[in-house]
Amino acid sequence: MCGIVGIAGTRDVAPIIVEALKRLEYRGYDSAGVATLVDGKIERRRAPGKLNNLEAVLRKTPLSGHTGIGHTRWATHGAPTEANAHPHASARVAIVHNGIIENFRELREELTAKGHKFQSETDSETAAHLVTDYMDQGLAPAEAAKKAVARLIGAYSIAMIFKDHEGLLVGARKGPPLAVGYGDTEAYLGSDAFALAPFTNRVAYLLDGDVAVIEGAQASIFDDQGRPANREIKITSASTAMVDKAGHSHFMAKEIHEQPEVISHTLAHYLDPAGPVVRRHGVGLRKTLAKASRLTISACGTAYYAGMVGKYWFEKLGRLAVEIDVASELRYRNPVYPENGAALFVSQSGETADTLAALRDAKAKGQTTIAVVNVAESSIAREADIVLPTYAGPEIGVASTKAFTCQLAALASFAIAAGVARGNLSESDEKTLCASLLETPRHIAEFFKQEPAVKAVAEEIAKARDVLYMGRGASYPLALEGALKLKEISYIHAEGYAAGEMKHGPIALIDEAVPIIVLAPHDVHFEKTISNMQEVMARGGKVLLISDSDGIAKAGKVWAHIEVPKTNAFITPLLYAIPVQLLAYYAAIAKGTDVDQPRNLAKSVTVE
Which residues carry out catalysis? Answer: 2, 603
**427-443 burial string, b = 16+ CB within 10 Å, else e?**
eeebebbbebbbebbeb
Map the footprint of ligand F6R across residues 381-400, applying CB under 6 A: 399-400
| Amino acid type, 146 | K
- Helix spans in 258-387 (H): 259-270, 283-291, 301-318, 327-330, 353-364, 379-383
Instruction: State which residue, 162 or 345, has the beta carbon closest to ligand F6R.
Output: 345
User: 202 pairs with which residues across the strands?
Assistant: 235
SS3 430: helix
Given 126, 191, 355, 606, the residue binding ligand F6R (CB under 6 A): 355
Cβ–Cβ < 8 Å for 186, 217: yes
- Omega within 30 of 0 (cis) for the link into 87: yes
Nearest 5°: the CA angle 457, 528, 471 is: 45
Helix axes 259-270, 427-447, angle to 10 degrees: 160
Instruction: State which residue, 236 or 581, has the beta carbon closest to ligand F6R.
Output: 581
- Using DSSP bridges, classify how beta strands 295-299 and 322-326 pair: parallel, antiparallel or unpaired: parallel
The DSSP secondary-structure symbol of 338 reads P
Map the footprint of ligand F6R across residues 464-503, applying CB under 6 A: 484, 488
Which residue minimizes CB distance to ligand F6R?
301
Instruction: State which residue, 340 or 600, has the beta carbon closest to ligand F6R.
Output: 600
Instruction: State which residue, 6 or 301, has the beta carbon closest to ligand F6R.
Output: 301
What does the per-residue mask of binding to ligand F6R show for 102-121, with x meaning CB under 6 A? Answer: --------------------
Region of 19 (left: φ > 0; alpha: ψ -120 to 50; beta: rest) is alpha
What does the per-residue mask of binding to ligand F6R show for 397-436, with x meaning CB under 6 A? Answer: --xx------------------------------------
Map the footprint of ligand F6R across residues 502-541, applying CB under 6 A: none
Helix axes 402-421, 259-270, angle to 10 degrees: 20
What does the per-residue mask of binding to ligand F6R show for 302-341, with x meaning CB under 6 A? Answer: xx--------------------------------------
Among 230-238, 275-283, 300-308, 572-580, which window interacts with ligand F6R (CB under 6 A)? 300-308
CB of 371 to ligand F6R, least distance (A): 10
CB of 6 to ligand F6R, least distance (A): 24
Instruction: State which residue, 295 or 300, has the beta carbon closest to ligand F6R.
Output: 300
Cα–chain center distance at 205: 19
Other Cβ atoms less than 10 A from the Cβ of 266: the count is: 27
Q: Is residue 605 near ligand F6R by the rule CB under 6 A?
A: yes
Instruction: State which residue, 92 or 603, has the beta carbon closest to ligand F6R.
Output: 603
Among 29-37, 171-179, 294-302, 461-469, which window interacts with ligand F6R (CB under 6 A)? 294-302
Q: Is residue 349 near ligand F6R by the rule CB under 6 A?
A: yes
Question: What's the first-to-final CA gap in the chain, in angstroms?
Answer: 10
Cβ–Cβ < 8 Å for 196, 188: yes
Among 125-133, 162-170, 285-293, 346-354, which window interacts with ligand F6R (CB under 6 A)? 346-354
Residues that bind ligand F6R (CB under 6 A): 300-303, 347-349, 352, 355, 399-400, 484, 488, 605
